[in-house]
Amino acid sequence: MNVNNSKEKSGSIPFYPDHVRSEVRVVIGITAIVLLIGILGLIFPLGLGEPADPMNTPAHVKPEWYFLALYQLLKYIPKTAGAVLPVMLVLLVLILRTVAIEFRSKRPSARWRSTWDWVFFASSLGIALLLGVAFGNIMEGVLLDAQGNIGGNLFTLLNPYALLVGVTTVFMLATHGAMYLTMKTEGAQQERAKLWLPRLMVIFFVLNTVLVIWTVLAHELIADRYLAQPLFAVFPGLALAAVLAGWLMVRQGRYWIAFLLSSAMIAGLLFSAAIGLYPNLLVSSIDLAYNLTIYNASSQPNTLTVMLVMALIGMPFVLLYTAGVYYVFRGKVKLTPQSY
């Protein structure tokens, strides 16, 4: 009786078990309807029209926002269709990360919040690792045939070089995030970030050094690019200088400058890899003649022109919005029992 009275007074319904039970009922009902429609379709099949062309969808057809980036990638660079599964896995981890943020505050229980904290940690770790592995496969090369089809499976993509790039990416972003935490937190959280930051920087530096040596020795395509045009070595040189300068700033407690240097280091590493691969977008481990380049993998010139115009118009708004968000949330984060 007291529980019912408390519900009436608060005017709210507990998330568990009330909402959970309702959602389970809905899922069961929808599943039953889908199965019924499928069975009827098998018994009374209907004639279908021409098969849809996934690479030539009508102009009015647009996916939901979380599928839009993948849709645009397939539209503008059709030969990347073989990379759909890994991208979908990345998308799944991103969704799980967002769900963890939303569900964490649904109940005040410490166990409930701790569980979703671990889900958030695992999904954040997964997205960093997967993006690093994907980038490692771009540099290592994949089983790309003459028709532009990517062979192998998910385990083929988890090769030693790609895994090293993935682990290095995890520590690179962990270092970058620890620098940001020193600026946004205070008290115990800030002290923990300061304690871990030098350790993370050392681990990242060691892993990245091993990765660079491996890349130079095992990837002639990238090494030959820099040997042919040594002037471009300024980009990895700047990345190295940013790492060393960032270490000095951390030792001096100047975390804002260290964060800017870390950003410059990440940009320098990305530019270095892009220069080494240019003009290749995806290297074939079967035959270099099958490589996807900026010339044979792009869409029609008119499509690229429209995309460029849209980017020139849209990117300033994206940058302004991002700058506005950082301005609104400037300063230290104040944690309370009601915080996410």
pLDDT digits (tens, 9 = 90+) for 198-220: 999 999 999 999 999 999 998 88
Average of per-residue pLDDT across 274-303: 85
Q: Does residue 138 lie within any of the structural domains?
A: yes
Shared-domain flag, residues 140 and 237: yes
Shared-domain flag, residues 13 and 109: no
Q: Does residue 335 lie within any of the structural domains?
A: no
Q: Which domain holds residue 264?
A: 65-298
- What are the pLDDT digits (tens) for 135-175? 998 888 888 788 777 777 777 888 999 999 999 999 999 99
List of residues 6+ apart from 251 with CB closer than 8 A: 198
Shared-domain flag, residues 324 and 189: no
Shared-domain flag, residues 117 and 140: yes
**pLDDT of 326:** 86
Q: Does residue 57 lie within any of the structural domains?
A: no
**pLDDT of 7:** 46
Helices (H), the chain: 2-10, 20-43, 65-76, 84-104, 110-140, 154-157, 160-184, 188-218, 220-228, 234-251, 255-277, 301-328
Q: Does residue 71 lie within any of the structural domains?
A: yes
Q: Does residue 209 lie within any of the structural domains?
A: yes
The alpha carbon dihedral of 159, 164, 169, 174 has a sign of positive
Shared-domain flag, residues 15 and 91: no
Angle, helix 234-251 to helix 255-277, in steps of 10 degrees:
160
- What are the pLDDT digits (tens) for 87-114? 778 888 888 888 888 888 888 888 988 9
**pLDDT of 69:** 60
d(CA 49, CA 47): 7
Q: Does residue 118 lie within any of the structural domains?
A: yes
Shared-domain flag, residues 294 and 316: no
Q: Give the number of domains in the chain.
A: 3
Q: Does residue 337 lie within any of the structural domains?
A: no
Q: Does residue 158 lie within any of the structural domains?
A: yes
pLDDT(261) > 50: yes
Shared-domain flag, residues 21 and 135: no
The alpha carbon dihedral of 120, 125, 126, 130 has a sign of positive
